Amino acid sequence: MAKRKNIEALSAQELYELAKRREQEELESEREEVKAQIEVLRVQRRELIAQHKKAVGAVDKEIRTLKRSIGSAVRGSRSSGNISQAVLDVLSQSGKATTKEIRSSLEQSGIDTSNLGQCLAYLKRNGRIAAPERATYTLA
C-alpha cells in the first residue's frame, strides 16, 4: 500500500491530481445514485401501466357485455335486408340524393348507417350507382 503523505507535503501537481480524482469519484457516485433513482421510477411506471391496462380491460369488458345485451334488441328492430339494397331503394325513389339525404332516410327506416360511406363506395365500384357530383348519387 502506498505511503500516505501529509497534505502539506504534497506538491501543487499532486494536489491537483488528487482533487481531480476526488471530483471524478463524486461525479461517478452521483451518476450511480441517479441510475438507481431512474430504475426505481421505471419499476413504478411499469406497475402503473399494468394497473392502467387492467382497469381499462375491465371497463372494455363491461362495455362489450353491455353491447351484447342490447345488440339483439337493436338487431331485431332493424328492417330486414342489407344496407346496399336499402340505398338502392332510396335512390330509385328519389332519383338523385345526397349522402345526408340517404343517411336520414335510412335512419328513419331503422337501418344502421355507420358504414354508409363504405357501402356507397362498394356500390359505386360495382357500377350500380354513379356520383355525378361530390356527395351526390344516382342509379347507374
Q: Are the C-beta atoms of 135 and 96 separated by less than 8 Å?
A: no
Rg of the chain, C-alpha, whole Å: 37
pLDDT at 3 over 90: no
pLDDT tens sequence across 82-132: 899 999 999 999 889 999 999 999 999 888 888 999 999 999 999 999 999
Q: Whole-structure pTM over 0.75, yes or no? A: no
pLDDT tens sequence across 37-96: 999 999 999 999 999 999 999 999 898 888 887 765 554 444 445 899 999 999 999 889
Q: What crossing angle do the helices spanning 99-108 and 116-125 adopt, rounded to 10°?
A: 120
* Residue 42 CB partners (closer than 8 Å, separation 6+): none
Q: What is the CATH number of domain 83-139?
A: 1.10.10.10
Domain ranges of the chain: 9-75, 83-139
Would you tell me how many other CB atoms lie within 10 Å of the CB of residue 18?
13
**Per-residue pLDDT at 72:** 53
Show the DSSP H helices in the chain as ranges. 12-77, 83-94, 99-108, 116-125
Query: In 3D, which of 37, 34, 15 has the Cα closest to residue 26?
Result: 34
